[in-house]
């Protein structure tokens, strides 16, 4: 079948690649450059997402942990294991037992894909790489293992593999409209496809609206910002904020520290950029935990992205991260999804297109 993919983020690329491997003729249209939006503005973690266990989303965690291994095995030069410390203070929202249970489950769900066993370090025994935490009320810290990636480079690596296998990629090509019968109109021309896969991330619903195609799915657009600050750290930290119970990461990042992220609802008309309030929030989060505080002058750069979360009527923090796939005529739309699990998302898109082929 002739398949068009709209969107050159990681989900578009992995969908295109999966479809091509199943023998379809695939063209991908990206209005900017590949990995130019959300997929290069992530926290750069390949992970199961410890906090999704709290929401009972065991499947999301299981898939993330196993997909993490897939990326690490395929692209070791763009991925690496990272140790994270989760400090436990007397004011923490979760007790030691609850955290130990969560981390044990995290290790067990990873099975053979586990990168290392979690551990507990009492305050007097904390290793040098976990130093710098404020001592007041500190009981100790858990350590656990996840992985970091260079999201933009890893996404381009995947796009190169897809291109090598025969996916045709058109950058700087805005898709203006799509139709249920497979017609796709770009800034350059119009053509007809057997299937169109709308995987435009935060813009997926807007493209349907502009095309007059109905959808049951509402997207909850939630901006997340990061600071890059001029501190070198060896290990990462998962910081459970006492003020709102959110988890903020401080991660090693090219000899600097990446601090993120935030959750701010936004519309597509607003600029996707870190606001003054978010800068303050992240500086405060860091300074709540570390003795050597940081200020505005320590921020080297900031970046932001918009999570396309499938709206279930919950708070931004509690919305599930999994994807929803919707079919309307010859248009397959994909909403949501995580970077880590984009390969699985691509497989599911290819299976959906396969079913369309059988029924046509
Ligand atoms: C702050 C933040 C932190 C995150 N951290 C992590 C993490 O650590 N680990 C993890 O696994 N996940 C993380 N995620 C989630 C992950 O980054 C996203 O789920 C994923 O990148 C979404 O990819 P996508 O391809 O769907 O969207 P995008 O990367 O946004 O790609 C969509 C593309 O479609 C293009 N497009 C839109 N409309 C059109 C059109 N009409 N015509 C042509 N092209 C169009 C856009 O230009 C864009 O390039 C994070 C997300 C955010 C926001």
Closest-lying ligand 1 atom to the alpha carbon of residue 11: 25
Residues 264 and 327 in one domain: no
Residues 246 and 334 in one domain: no
Q: Would you state the pLDDT for residue 321? A: 67
Token code pair at residue 183: 């017609």
Q: Would you state the pLDDT for residue 316? A: 62
Residue 102 lies in a domain: yes
pLDDT in tens, the chain (360 residues): 999 999 999 999 999 999 999 999 999 999 999 999 999 999 999 999 988 898 889 999 999 999 999 999 999 999 999 999 999 998 777 789 999 999 999 999 999 999 999 999 999 999 999 999 999 999 999 999 999 999 999 999 999 999 999 999 999 999 999 999 999 999 989 999 999 999 999 999 999 999 999 999 989 999 999 999 999 999 999 999 998 989 999 999 999 999 999 999 999 999 999 999 999 999 999 999 999 999 999 999 999 999 999 877 666 666 666 889 999 999 999 999 999 999 999 999 999 999 998 887
Cα separations in angstroms, 39 against 60, 118, 201, 280, 324: 18, 29, 9, 24, 18
> Which of 6, 7, 34, 65 gets mutated to test ligand 1 (max ligand atoms within 8 A of its CB)?
7
Q: Would you state the pLDDT for residue 318? A: 63
Task: Give the Cα separation of 322 and 309 in Å (integer).
Answer: 8
Residues 70 and 124 in one domain: yes
What's 193's domain CATH number? Answer: 3.50.50.60
Residue 48 lies in a domain: no
| Strand, coil or helix: 218 | coil
Residues 102 and 251 in one domain: yes
Residue 57 lies in a domain: no
Residues 146 and 245 in one domain: yes
Residue 51 lies in a domain: no
- Domain span at residue 326 reads 2-39+152-217+320-359
Q: Would you state the pLDDT for residue 54? A: 83
Residues making up the chain, counted from first to last: 360
Q: State in Å: Cα 126 to ligand 1 middle.
A: 37
Residues 230 and 274 in one domain: yes
Token code pair at residue 98: 């609850």
Say how many domains are in the chain: 2
What's 116's domain CATH number? Answer: 3.30.9.10
Residue 111 lies in a domain: yes
Residues 307 and 326 in one domain: no
> Which of 37, 268, 306 gets mutated to test ligand 1 (max ligand atoms within 8 A of its CB)?
37
Task: Give the Cα separation of 9 and 156 in Å (integer).
Answer: 9
Q: State in Å: Cα 140 to ligand 1 middle.
A: 36
| Atom 40, ligand 1: residue with shortest CA distance | 175
Task: Give the Cα separation of 176 and 185 in Å (integer).
Answer: 6
**Which DSSP symbol is given to 212?**
T
Q: Half-sphere exposure of residue 92, counting CA atoms within 13 Å on the CB side?
A: 23
Residues 235 and 310 in one domain: yes
Q: Would you state the pLDDT for residue 281? A: 98
Ligand 1 site, residue 223, Cβ cutoff 6 A:
no
In terms of Cα–Cα distance, which of 165, 167, 166, 184 is closest to 175?
A: 184
Q: State in Å: Cα 308 to ligand 1 middle.
A: 7
Closest-lying ligand 1 atom to the alpha carbon of residue 321: 19
Token code pair at residue 288: 């709540």
Q: State in Å: Cα 31 to ligand 1 middle.
A: 13
Residues 241 and 346 in one domain: no
Residues 140 and 90 in one domain: yes
In terms of Cα–Cα distance, which of 85, 343, 349 is closest to 238?
A: 85
Residue 259 lies in a domain: yes
Check: CB of residue 215 under 8 Å from CB of residue 332: no
Residues 143 and 254 in one domain: yes
Check: CB of residue 142 under 8 Å from CB of residue 105: no
Token code pair at residue 85: 């410390």
Closest-lying ligand 1 atom to the alpha carbon of residue 341: 11
Residue 50 lies in a domain: no
- The torsion angle over the Cα atoms of residues 263, 151, 133 and 243, rounded to 10 degrees, is 10
Residues 257 and 341 in one domain: no
In terms of Cα–Cα distance, which of 307, 338, 272, 274 is closest to 46?
A: 338
Q: Would you state the pLDDT for residue 92? A: 78
Residue 49 lies in a domain: no
In terms of Cα–Cα distance, which of 284, 242, 233, 261 is closest to 85?
A: 233
Ligand 1 site, residue 29, Cβ cutoff 6 A:
yes
Closest-lying ligand 1 atom to the alpha carbon of residue 223: 53
Check: CB of residue 250 under 8 Å from CB of residue 237: yes
Q: Would you state the pLDDT for residue 312? A: 73
Q: Which residues are registered as beta bridge partners of 224? A: 305
> Which of 186, 339, 342 gets mutated to test ligand 1 (max ligand atoms within 8 A of its CB)?
339
């Amino acid at each position: 079948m002739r398949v068009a993919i709209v969107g050159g983020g990681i989900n578009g690329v992995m969908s295109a690649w999966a479809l091509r491997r199943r023998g379809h003729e695939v063209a991908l249209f990206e209005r900017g450059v590949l990995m130019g939006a959300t997929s290069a503005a992530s926290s750069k973690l390949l992970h199961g997402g410890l906090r999704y266990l709290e929401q009972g989303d065991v499947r999301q965690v299981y898939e993330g942990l196993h997909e993490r291994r897939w990326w690490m095995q395929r692209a070791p030069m763009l991925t690496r294991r990272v140790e994270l410390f989760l400090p436990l203070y007397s004011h923490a929202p979760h007790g030691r037992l609850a955290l130990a249970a969560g981390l044990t489950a995290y290790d067990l769900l990873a099975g053979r894909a586990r990168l290392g066993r979690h551990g507990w370090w009492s305050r007097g025994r904390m290793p040098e790489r976990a130093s710098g935490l404020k001592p007041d009320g500190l009981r100790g810290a858990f350590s656990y293992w996840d992985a970091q990636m260079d999201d933009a480079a890893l996404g381009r690596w995947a796009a190169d593999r897809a291109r090598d296998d025969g996916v045709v990629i058109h950058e700087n090509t805005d898709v203006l409209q799509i139709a249920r019968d497979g017609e796709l109109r770009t800034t350059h021309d119009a053509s007809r496809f057997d299937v169109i896969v709308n995987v435009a991330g935060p813009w997926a619903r807007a493209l349907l609206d502009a095309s007059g195609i109905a959808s049951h799915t509402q997207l909850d657009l939630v901006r997340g910002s990061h600071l890059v600050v001029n501190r070198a750290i060896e290990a990462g930290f998962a910081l459970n904020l006492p003020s709102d119970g959110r988890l903020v990461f401080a991660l090693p990042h090219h000899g600097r520290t990446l601090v993120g992220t935030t959750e701010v609802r936004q519309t597509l008309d607003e600029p996707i950029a870190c606001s003054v309030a978010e800068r303050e929030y992240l500086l405060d989060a860091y300074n709540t935990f570390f003795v050597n505080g940081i200020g505005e002058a320590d921020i080297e750069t900031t970046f932001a992205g918009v999570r396309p979360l499938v709206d279930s009527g919950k708070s931004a923090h509690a919305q599930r991260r999994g994807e929803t796939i919707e079919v309307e005529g010859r248009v397959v739309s994909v909403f949501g999804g995580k970077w880590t699990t984009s390969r699985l998302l691509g497989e599911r898109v290819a299976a959906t297109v396969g079913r369309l082929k059988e029924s046509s």
